[in-house]
Amino acid sequence: MARATFTRGVLTDIGSFGGCFALPKMRRPVLVSSVDGVGTKLKIAFATGRHDTIGEDLVNHCVNDIAVQGARPLFFLDYFAVGKLNADVAAQVVSGIARGCEANGCALIGGETAEMPGIYAEGEYDLAGTIVGAVEKSRILTGAKVREGHALVALPSNGLHTNGYSLARKILFEVAGLSVDSVLPESGAVLGDELLKVHRSYLKAITALVRKQTISAAAHITGGGITDNLPRVIPHGLAAGIRTKSWQPPPLFEMLRALGRVAEDDWRRTFNLGVGMILAISPLKLDSALRTLRRLHERAWIVGEVIRQGRGKPRVQYV
């Protein structure tokens, strides 16, 4: 499965002590790296016995984290740790990692499988990954070019992605008494299927916009929600004015809020609420960017704009 992801840059085979990768031809290449896990979404995989999507979640999350800086992924390494290795489960996990790597043009060049009895409960494991990508130095997205009046364009999420699962599990399983086999009346979906929806990759959309130089910044909406992630790419002195009525959060998020009686600020900080990525785009380039997204069949909408922060005001202001 790993070999199927190999690209022309891979110089070593599986089993080497280290993976070797030739840098792509760039004038001034900058390496961009990130490491992450999938958090307590793993508990849903354990409960359902489905392990073939969790690896894809991991890859896509990491891909998005470097894509928002303008980088394209080069290679990926995974860390799979378990008390006692179950080869079938491990193969399912790796199949998801390989599928995610192949879809994103990223080579799975190595990793670590650790068997540690006494550390992990029976039937459980941990999963993490490291990604390395590259971008021309002149094309790095830093947010420094974001100005007052820039449009904030949202791209939809595919559910919870990989964040907020600790609170979601407490609300759904402990407070509401549901199980992974419960059917949600709002959508008719099985809860386990809804919670295992794969974390989306936004690489194609961001790459196309970077190539056309139509975006100034991008924020991956993960843990912390819009509230904590969007300020990471907006210069100090500026803020994001978010129009909450510009979209309707999917039913699962509304359900979590109602069942858990979650305060609005906590709700917005814990979950993505249906927004997986936000792009900052100059008004002069907005029409071009939206046309590009439409050609990619990417649903997008203007969720707000960059504004003056104002003394004592928060970095994200919901209106």
pLDDT of 87 reads 96
Let me know: does 112 contact 79? Beta carbons within 8 Å: yes
Same domain, 289 and 220: yes
Same domain, 124 and 266: no
Using CA atoms, how far apart are residues 263 and 276, in angstroms rounded to an integer?
Answer: 21
Kindly give the pairing relationship between strand 72-82 and strand 29-37: unpaired
Of 139, 160, 182, which residue is a domain's last? Answer: 139
| In a domain? residue 107 | yes
| In a domain? residue 145 | no
Same domain, 37 and 9: yes
**Which residues span the domain enclosing 284?**
151-318
Cα separation values, 294 from 37, 159, 201, 291, Å: 31, 21, 17, 5
Same domain, 95 and 155: no
pLDDT in tens, the chain (319 residues): 999 999 999 999 988 999 999 999 999 999 999 999 999 999 999 999 999 999 999 999 999 999 999 999 999 999 999 999 999 999 999 999 999 999 999 999 999 999 999 999 999 999 999 999 999 999 999 999 999 999 999 999 999 999 999 999 999 999 999 999 999 987 889 999 999 999 999 999 999 999 999 999 999 999 999 999 999 999 999 999 999 999 999 999 999 999 999 999 999 999 999 999 999 999 999 999 999 999 999 999 999 999 999 999 999 999 9
| In a domain? residue 227 | yes
Beta bridge partners of 108: 76
Same domain, 159 and 133: no
| Among the listed residues 60, 51, 137, the one whose alpha carbon sits nearest the alpha carbon of residue 86 | 51
Domain holding 124: CATH number? 3.30.1330.10
Same domain, 37 and 177: no
pLDDT tens column, 94-107: 999 999 999 999 99
Same domain, 202 and 292: yes
Of 80, 104, 139, which residue is a domain's last? Answer: 139
Angle at 76 between CA 70 and CA 79, to 5 degrees: 135
| In a domain? residue 292 | yes
DSSP 141-202: --STT--TT-EEEEEE-SSSTTSSHHHHHIIIIIIS---TTPBPTTT--BHHHHHTPPPPP-
pLDDT of 187 reads 80
pLDDT of 89 reads 97
Same domain, 133 and 155: no
| In a domain? residue 122 | yes
pLDDT of 14 reads 87
Of the chain, the end-to-end C-alpha distance in Å amounts to 48
Same domain, 46 and 129: yes
pLDDT of 222 reads 97
| In a domain? residue 47 | yes
pLDDT of 135 reads 97
Same domain, 160 and 131: no
Domain holding 238: CATH number? 3.90.650.10
Same domain, 159 and 53: no
Same domain, 311 and 244: yes
Number of independent structural domains in the chain = 2
pLDDT of 186 reads 77
| In a domain? residue 146 | no
pLDDT of 251 reads 94
Let me know: does 274 contact 157? Beta carbons within 8 Å: yes
| In a domain? residue 7 | yes
Using CA atoms, how far apart are residues 179 and 169, in angstroms rounded to an integer?
Answer: 10
| Among the listed residues 197, 54, 223, the one whose alpha carbon sits nearest the alpha carbon of residue 126 | 54
Of 107, 139, 171, which residue is a domain's last? Answer: 139
pLDDT of 31 reads 97
Cα separation values, 11 from 14, 48, 108, 145, 287, Å: 10, 38, 12, 37, 42
Q: Which residues contact 49 (CB under 8 A, 6 or more apart)?
A: none
Describe the strand order of the beta sheet including 151-156 as a list of residue ranges. 217-220, 275-281, 151-156, 301-308, 238-242, 316-318
